[in-house]
Amino acid sequence: MCGISGFCSFAKRWEGNPAAARARLERAGEALRHRGPDGSGIYLDAFVGLTHTRLAIIDPALGAQPMLRRIGQRSFALVYNGELYNTAELRTGLEAKGWRWETSSDTEVLLAGLIEEGEAFLQKPNGIYAFAFWDGEALLLVRDRLGVKPLFYAVEGDLLYFGSEPKALFACGWKPALDEDGLRQLFALGPAHTPGSGIFRGVKELLPGECLRMNGSGIGRTLYWRLQSLPHTDGAAETVEKTAFLVRDAIERQMVSDVPICTFLSGGLDSSLVSAVCARRLAAKGKRLRTFSFDFTGNDEYYRANAFQPSRDTPFALEAARWLGTEHTALECGYRELAALLEQAMEARDLPGMADVDASLLYFCAIVGKECKVTLTGECADEIFGGYPWFRSEAAFQERVFPWSRDHAARRTFLREELLEALRLEEYAQNAYEDCVRQCPRLEGEAPEEARRREIAWLNLRWFMQTLLDRMDRCSMSACLEARVPFADHRILEYVWNVPWGLKYKNQTVKHLLREAGRGWLPESVLFRQKSPYPKTYHPAFERLLAARMRDVLANPNEPLHTYVDRKKAERFLSAPADYGKPWFGQLMAAPQRVAYFLQVNAWLKKYF
């Protein structure tokens, strides 16, 4: 996994001062060094500049980028962030057309495919990727089907900037700015953001499954992949069998690496199933899988079960590790370390995010990244198989709002009344919700309840899953760790999307289909464990520390947060008892996370504006 960035203009603006253009690319590469410390490279011609920082996973010796090829009078260049999991099949198909190889890297296969077939080749890769391809006449930017890998861009006149993270655009020369739309997203939707938006004024993000082409005639964007709603014709047994094959095949494909891999193992169904397949595959080769679980210092004493977090991960993770025979490490994070990383977590995403939920993942990834370069995780299974409570809650079916962010009163807690009146946050969130629902792929003749459940699933894929994928990408890549997400294989989504709810949820069993597909791979206690989300700290000292930091901000009139926050309202909130059982976003972000989020907002405003 890597970092990519660059710019394109057909005004030949680089010819007069190539040194300045190269300096821009060097700054962008340095801004993305955390994504790829193993190597870097630059390509610059009359119209385009490309830069790449490399985390070497496949063919470390020969897979350097930008990767260049010259055929006749045309020069081709590629910078690529990702992994292809069907490289062998793609390579065989291209060999039949006369291609021969100088490396064993998937980068060379991708480059050859694009040269050979152009945009038509985009239908063939299975993987996670964001890349920029220059064919001498046009620049093509592409993002993978489910949006696992990020790609941002901004346009200023005839000049286009792009990069794996917004910070790369800023290093290239784009100036960060904030407008009312950005503020509305921060306060009405955050830590989620509108698909395609980069929050900063003028910054856009390529949509999942989208490509952007820039040539001398201008810029065009198209979707090369769309999710389709189709009748499901397989019976129950065949559905389980096909699902089991797709899941196992995705996991096994994503084990490809020239360096050792590991897995994140929470002891829940998703990560345990990924770990089980990896462990068995490695055991057949005489190797042992490394697994890592996460928890927080003090949770032995302070954790209290609630509807959103019914059990701790640690006992189940240890049980799964023993059953699978993995080399397991149980990691813990203290509340002081967690609080200290809030600003760094914001910088990793260039935005306020999931507050301490991000900060903790950043902490854990930093430790794992010192031991391994590649990890497989259980992300995306809940969105695809219907694991969240709002897939089946009465409120989600009746209320036409984002089901993970229903409580708008919580968002008003800190904000000035005049700001609330000007921004009209609930109306903004409602419009964003309705716009997304209108785009949901429909199935003609579907029963109203199934149609509504499809809307809920669509909202999850476009919003909630993207928030978690962004979190995983930035936190892992900040630690030079490549995180792979087997459940985000587009083949799994395409199949399971059309499976009726009665096969996904049966006998009051959440993710029944995935559990049946996983039979034989896990002990029953893990296979049928009730879902519990990513852990968080319940240490009361963490809450006190956040409150003290917020009071310091409120006491300093020079802090930028004062523009938006009502000091008296904030103090009332800080003085009230925290309720961990009433999250305002997802299942994890409750009262302490609200304070942490606004601390991140303050740090973000100071850094960028």
Indicate which residues carry an active-site annotation: 2
Write the CA distances from 282 to 287, 292, 325, 409, integer angstroms: 5, 16, 11, 50
SS3 372: coil
φ, ψ at 237 (rounded to 5°): -65, -40
Q: Is 225 exposed, middle or buried (0-12, 13-18, 19+ CB in 10 A)?
A: middle
Cα–Cα distance for residue pair 342/360, rounded to 1 Å: 9
Instruction: Name the β-bridge partners of 141.
Output: 132, 212
Distance CA 77, CA 66 (A): 6
Distance CA 453, CA 446 (A): 11
> Edge to edge, what strands does the sheet with 204-205 contain?
39-44, 48-54, 2-9, 159-163, 152-156, 204-205
Nearest to 353 by CA among 497, 196, 192, 112: 192
| Cβ contact 599:342 at 8 Å | yes
Strand (E) or helix (H) holding 219: strand 218-223
Identify the helix (H) or strand (E) that includes residue 7: strand 2-9
Sheet holding 374-376, edge to edge: 327-333, 290-296, 261-264, 374-376, 482-484
300 three-class SS = helix
Distance separating alpha carbons of residues 289 and 427, to the nearest angstrom: 49
- 605's CB contacts (< 8 A; 6+ apart) are 178, 560, 561, 563
Structural contact between residues 111 and 140, judged by C-beta atoms closer than 8 angstroms: no
